[in-house]
Structure 1
Amino acid sequence: MKIAYCTPSLYIAGGVERVLTLKANYFADRFGHDVTIILTDGHGKQPYYHLSDKVRVINLDIGFEELWTCTFIKKVFVYLRKQRLFKRRLRAELMRLRPDITVSMLRREINFITDIKDGSMKIGEMHINKKNYRNFETEDTNIVKRCFAKFWMYGLVSKLKKLDKFVVLTDEDKKAWNGLKNMVSIPDPLSFTPSTRSDLMRKRVIAVGRYSHEKGYDLLLRAWSKVEKECPDWELAVFGMGNREPYEQLSAELGIDSSRCRLNGSTHDIEREYTASSLFVSSSRFEGFGMALVEAMACGLPVISFDGACGPRAIISHGTDGLLVPAEDANALAAAMSSLMKSPGRMNEMAGNAVRKSENYDMDMLAEKWRELFNEVCNK
């Protein structure tokens, strides 16, 4: 089977990039599919995650990243010009490749992907929940943005209806897209099989994710400023890409002990960091799924998360393999952390349950779901 994926770039250490790389490698190496990933940005930059030699990468070199530096007025004209170029180049590439299936990661190509008559079946993958799809990269909003988001969502739904299949990560989010009949939910797979598990002996809390508003590290630091006083022998380690400066400044303002609170960059060996910790905390304001939660559970860590929309509550069984606390409540997060950190017996019990829960996200099992989906759409 010949499969083409459309996504902006692969050089960023993000969740979408990680999942796409994992699936592309598996489908090419294990299923023997002919897999191509078509990019618009990051020309000349190497993929952050290891990509199989059997996976072909084509960069259309559109350079949408230029929009990040444009004024609003200029951004409109630059976007329209680049979008026309993107449409022309992607159409030409798909007509040349003639894939059986084209998968859109629901970025700019969703505006026209179903209009390209290359003979391929079109599938869309959603990696954020519906509620937060239009504001997952910004912390500010206003009435103009909200009105635009509603208008944009109306247009998006009309395009999603034209897809042969629309894939979301959770059953809860599937219900949110009421009116769409072409949907299926398939969660993200565990990105690695741990070679070892934490012995829960090191008193370290870990958080993983890029430094951005939606990951809620400001809330985590506010919670930690209380926890560090109650549990002075514990430390916090955060790992992720992005600008750490605002969080370092907030940490200083809160009087947090910098020797026990490390704000680190990203790491290529996240398994080592999980297994060197004893508790995972997610402070995200929202999550499409929560891959880091599953990774931490597979490494034998009990987990604590805000009970935001979808993601975490689809993964965590509260009180069994982790704890869910009210969304964006830093005080509740601090209380949950302190309570669990003071109860090693409870932590060990949750850790064992967490490992068993992580088995639900085994790549072999979920890859079969994708194979069934591909076969279904191709045999229509």
Structure 2
Amino acid sequence: MAGGVERVLTLKANYFAEHFGYDITIILTEGKGKPLFYSLSDKVKVINLDINFEELWTCSFFKKIIIYLRKQRLFKKSLTTELMRIRPDITISLLRREINFITSVKDGSKKVGELHINRKNYRNFEESRSNIFKLLFSKLWMYSLINKLKKLERLVVLTDYDKLAWKELDNVVTIPNPLSFSPSRMSPQTEKRVIAVGRYCHEKGYDFLLSAWAKVQAECTDWQLVIFGDGNRTEYEQQIDRLNIDRMRCKLNARTSDVHSEYVHSSLAVCSSRFEGFGLVIVEAMACGLPVVSFDCPWGPRSIIDNGNDGVLVENGNVDELATIMVKLMTNPEIRIEMANRAAQNVRRYEIDQIAMLWKSLFDNL
């Protein structure tokens, strides 16, 4: 996979293997035989259990249940076997399907959970409030999850706001994601280009962004908007046509292998997400000398952006305000450049050296 979680995992694994001499093994369930998207240090071992849960995506509902139960039994058996063989000091779970059994594995390791999404949107049951059965299921599921999380030595979340959301737990600590690269160049703030980065999905709110851009393009006729990400762009292409957006100044691009260069060739970044566990793209953009205009969505952006100082937080989902703030920064280079300079300075607190020490302190205490 090529998402933010995978990128952060790779970065931390490489750092701990290279700088601290940790013996690290990454255990995967998907992608057997496929090359890794991000480069791993030769010192990091990789084991692929080849469970292939992705097969479930194409199954009917009832077939999905049968195949899932079979694969989950295989997963539990295979992962337990590997942990008993490796006998690690610490096992970190990204809280996927293994949370159902990981704390019961008697391999002697301390179990740590690492959550990359906020509580409200973790396994989100969006329609549960309008369906009594879904509501009941979601409550039972959360009750079961809480009991499993209590058995972890630590639950690591990305923001203090999310830490407060887990009121039932006393083992929660906050460690934010690290900046995924050290920029060699900064934006000169000369190119009239707005950038957004992230998957083409409901969560990222590109429907909001395009609606805002339809208003912005009329006032800033020499600026363009570029979006980079994985996923299906069809519905957003259709929205561009419905809103009569100038396609010459609004480009929906696939994922880029050089996001650093794309930031440097832009002058403003936008985050239109409905929710963010953290907001790695915000940190990246700021590090490259871009102020970020972001919805004040749960919970990542407000933990990163100092509102009005190194970026701007907009009322979550308020398209008109998003458009207004974008125009303000696009048409006021002095304000934008001042914010950009402060952004590049303030975001240094997320450099890997500092974040790694937080993790090392956690490990040492365990």
Report the TM-score, using the length of structure 1 for normalisation: 0.94
1:140, distance to aligned residue in structure 2 (A): 6.3
**Mapped partners of 2:134, 2:247: distance in 1:** 38
Give the residue type in structure 2 aligned to 1:265: A
Matched, 1:304 2:301: no
**Mapped partners of 1:317, 1:146: distance in 2:** 37
SS at match of 1:255: coil
CA displacement 1:196-237 (0-9 Å, x = unmatched): 100110000000001110000111111111111110100001
- Hey, what does 1:76 align to over in structure 2? 65
**Mapped partners of 2:314, 2:127: distance in 1:** 24
Give the residue type in structure 2 aligned to 1:311: G
**Mapped partners of 2:247, 2:6: distance in 1:** 31
Greater alpha carbon shift after TM alignment, 42-51 vs 210-219: 42-51
1:148, distance to aligned residue in structure 2 (A): 2.5
1:356, distance to aligned residue in structure 2 (A): 1.2
**Mapped partners of 2:251, 2:24: distance in 1:** 39
CA displacement 1:7-38 (0-9 Å, x = unmatched): xxxxx221110110000010111111111110
CA 1:186 to 1:236, structure 2 compared with 1: closer, same or farther past 3 Å? same
- Hey, what does 1:154 align to over in structure 2? 143
> Do the aligned partners of 1:134 and 1:149 also contact (CA within 8 Å) in 2?
no
Q: Counterparts of 1:237-252 in structure 2 under 5 Å?
A: 237-252=226-241
Identity rate, percent? 61
1:145, distance to aligned residue in structure 2 (A): 3.7
- Hey, what does 1:34 align to over in structure 2? 23
SS at match of 1:187: coil
Give the residue type in structure 2 aligned to 1:115: S
1:72, distance to aligned residue in structure 2 (A): 1.2
Aligned to 2:310, which of 301, 310, 321?
321
1:147, distance to aligned residue in structure 2 (A): 3.5
Q: Counterparts of 1:254-269 in structure 2 under 5 Å?
A: 254-269=243-258
> Do the aligned partners of 2:159 and 2:174 also contact (CA within 8 Å) in 1?
yes
Give the residue type in structure 1 aligned to 2:340: A
Matched, 1:226 2:223: no
The count of residues paired between Structure 1 and Structure 2 equals 364
SS at match of 2:275: coil
- Hey, what does 2:270 align to over in structure 1? 281
Give the residue type in structure 2 aligned to 1:230: E
1:149, distance to aligned residue in structure 2 (A): 2.5
SS at match of 1:259: helix
**Mapped partners of 1:139, 1:252: distance in 2:** 29
> Do the aligned partners of 1:139 and 1:214 also contact (CA within 8 Å) in 2?
no
Matched, 1:104 2:77: no
> Do the aligned partners of 2:26 and 2:45 also contact (CA within 8 Å) in 1?
yes
**Mapped partners of 1:197, 1:147: distance in 2:** 51
Matched, 1:291 2:280: yes
1:179, distance to aligned residue in structure 2 (A): 2.1
Aligned to 1:47, which of 24, 36, 56?
36
- Hey, what does 1:7 align to over in structure 2? none
CA displacement 1:122-163 (0-9 Å, x = unmatched): 00000000011122xx87665244442222111111000000
> Do the aligned partners of 2:146 and 2:168 also contact (CA within 8 Å) in 1?
no
> Do the aligned partners of 2:158 and 2:174 also contact (CA within 8 Å) in 1?
yes
> Do the aligned partners of 1:102 and 1:121 also contact (CA within 8 Å) in 2?
yes
Aligned to 1:25, which of 14, 25, 33?
14
**Mapped partners of 2:310, 2:134: distance in 1:** 38
SS at match of 1:94: helix
1:77, distance to aligned residue in structure 2 (A): 1.1
Structure 2, unmatched stretches of 5+, are: none
**Mapped partners of 1:339, 1:73: distance in 2:** 53
- Hey, what does 1:6 align to over in structure 2? none
Report the TM-score, using the length of structure 2 for normalisation: 0.97
SS at match of 2:354: helix
**Mapped partners of 2:136, 2:320: distance in 1:** 33
Q: Cα RMSD between the aligned structures?
A: 1.2
SS at match of 2:247: coil
Aligned to 1:165, which of 142, 145, 154?
154
> Do the aligned partners of 2:127 and 2:134 also contact (CA within 8 Å) in 1?
no
Segments of 4+ moved more than 4 angstroms: 138-142
